[in-house]
Amino acid sequence: MLNKMRVVTRLATMAASLIVILILVGSVGLYSSFNASKTMSSLYHNQVLPLKQLSRMSTLYLNGLMNTTYQVDNSSLGWVEGGQLVSSARQEINALWQTYLKTALNEEELQLVRQLQPILELADDAAEELETILKSQDVQKLDGFITARLQKHIMPASEKLESLLDLLVATTESSYLASERAFYRSLWLRILLIVAGVLFSVVGTLISRSIMGQLGGELEYTEDVIKSVANGDFSVKIHLKAGDNESMLYAIQQMVKKLAQTINDVRSTADTLSSAAEEMSATAQSLSQAA
């Protein structure tokens, strides 16, 4: 089939095929890189950072509020230091929660957030009351707070945050698995494109061999032979590959042989005619002298 195609068509097909493969490989690479970057950015900002924020909030409820309360109550921590810790924890909790709410939340997260919001508001009210008690250094009120509000309002906030953390861990795992699947899809697509590139390279090699087969040799050598024949050098030796009886060089070789034979025949005929003319001239002179 290749031998029936024009040389220009074959070369253009080979070039176009390689260009298409290069474009596809480059496009897939760019798309994969962009998609991977986008996925990683989304994973970090919408799942990893929120995990850190919520985990920090849970720690602050347990250590910054509850443990601090118990430490002040058993006199292992001073009232002033305890008040400062509670105030700092309360401010950081509010800041972390507002930051978390600005991230992209899925439907399950939104449902938990709606359940968690009133619990956090009660916990914040309790933390504000605790901060006031610590400033006043009222032991009786602190004992009453521990009994009435600490376990009832602050502990549930920490427990509900754990539920949200579990959901985020599951979501992160799902996103990771989806990213992994996308990576392997991209990898297999690249492998297919590489295989296609190899196949097209093989086709290109076949096209080149087809062209060389039709020429019978290198293009430069074929050009030199044609120029020699065009300049009238019929003694040029044309080297053919073993078994070559179809190429252009073979046709030129046969043409040169026939032209050389024709020229030899013409020369032989001319020599014969010249001899005959000389004989006739000699005969004519003899007859003239005899007369």
Average pLDDT along the chain: 80
Q: Is 103 left (phi over 0), alpha (psi -120 to 50) or beta?
A: beta
* pLDDT > 70 fraction of the chain, expressed in percent and rounded: 87
Report the pLDDT value the prediction gives residue 22, as an integer from 0 to 100. 73
Burial grade of 135 (CB within 10 A; 0-12, 13-18, 19 or more): middle
Which residues, in sequence order, are CB contacts of 78 under 8 Å at separation 6+? Answer: 72
Q: With 0-12 CB in 10 A as exposed, 13-18 as middle and 19+ as buried, what is 164?
A: buried
Contact between 229 and 251 (Cβ < 8 Å): no
Q: Give residue 9's pLDDT.
A: 65
When pLDDT is averaged across residues 204-229 and rounded to a whole number, the result is: 73
What is the tens place of the pLDDT at every residue in 219-254?
Answer: 677 777 778 777 877 777 777 777 777 777 778 777
CA 68 from chain centre, in angstroms, equals 53
- The distance of Cα 199 from the centroid of its chain, to the nearest Å, equals 20
* Residue 90: Cβ-neighbour burial (10 angstroms; 0-12, 13-18, 19+): buried
The answer for residues whose C-beta is within 8 angstroms of residue 140's C-beta and 6 or more apart is: none
Q: What is the mean pLDDT of residues 95-116?
A: 89
Length of the chain: 291
pLDDT band at 177 (very low <50, low <70, confident <90, very high): confident
pLDDT of residue 2: 47
171-184 average pLDDT score: 80
pLDDT tens digits for range 34-71: 776 777 777 777 778 888 888 898 889 888 899 999 99
